[in-house]
Amino acid sequence: MRNVYHVARRELGAFFVSPIAYVVTAIYLAVTGGLFGFILYYSREATLRYVLMHGVSLLFLVLITQVLTMRLLAEEQRMGTLELLLTAPLRDWEVVLGKFLASLGVFLAMVLLTSTFVIVLLRVGEPDIGVMLSGYLGYILLGTSLLAIGVFASSLTQNQIVAAVVGMGITLILWISGALGEFVGGAMESIVTFLPIFDHYQDFARGIIDTRDILYYLSVTVLFLFMSVRVVEWRRWR
């Protein structure tokens, strides 16, 4: 795991040396903070449920995660440094996991900054702490899955914009896949209806923690990281 740590530290340094992390974090806090204030003013309820489940919040989460990951492998390929990285005493999974953990670290730091919303709610009302913790857990699991999708998309191309578009396209497919359930039958119907990525998030926002939803997000994360490793291996030996 030492190699994973060094790759992650290198990527974190790249995030914070450039203005990417600061700009993305500022925009993220501005949008989510504005949405929080707007909803709190009109709902008069001490809860984060409406913010966490709002369509704008989820759409922005998709955009943020793809922006954080679009450069991770695509830029290495464009600059020709991926080949150099792969010739180092590093395994392919260590490269992928290190880069993924770096993006996850930035994402968690951004989510941590939204804890100010919780402080505000504690000052103005009596929010249900359990529901808020459940909502944050689901939000982090969803974001982790989207980051893994972004890493996979970044491994497929040298163009960062294309990587972001591909990542959003995969997310869109996973979102609308449930609509295909009515066109298939039998066992396939239950499988297809289980795929929509946002459906498994709704219970978390309501304060319900289901192990099936946790396993779903962990499975999506592992699957896309596994496919990213396979793509990197293919690039090594092609």
Long-range interactions of 2-6: CB distance < 8 A, separation 24+: 3/89, 3/90, 3/91, 3/94, 3/98, 4/94, 4/97, 4/98, 4/101, 5/98, 6/98
What range does the domain containing 110 cover? 2-237
| Residue whose token pair is 């030996």 | 237
Q: Judge whether 222 and 150 are in contact, CB under 8 Å.
A: no
Q: Judge whether 60 and 32 are in contact, CB under 8 Å.
A: yes
Locate all alpha helices (DSSP H) within 44-159, ordered by sequence.
Answer: 49-53, 55-69, 74-79, 81-87, 92-113, 115-124, 129-155
73-127: pLDDT as tens digits: 887 777 666 655 666 667 777 888 999 999 999 999 999 998 888 888 888 878 7
pLDDT above 90 covers what percent of the chain?
32
150 band by pLDDT with thresholds 50, 70 and 90 = very high
Q: What is the pTM of this model?
A: 0.91
Whether the per-residue pLDDT at 57 is higher than 90: the answer is no
7-50: pLDDT as tens digits: 888 888 888 787 878 888 899 989 888 888 888 888 777 778 88
Question: 220 vs 16, which has greater pLDDT?
Answer: 220
Per the structure, how many domains does the chain have?
1
Helical axes 55-69 vs 92-113, angle rounded to 10°: 140
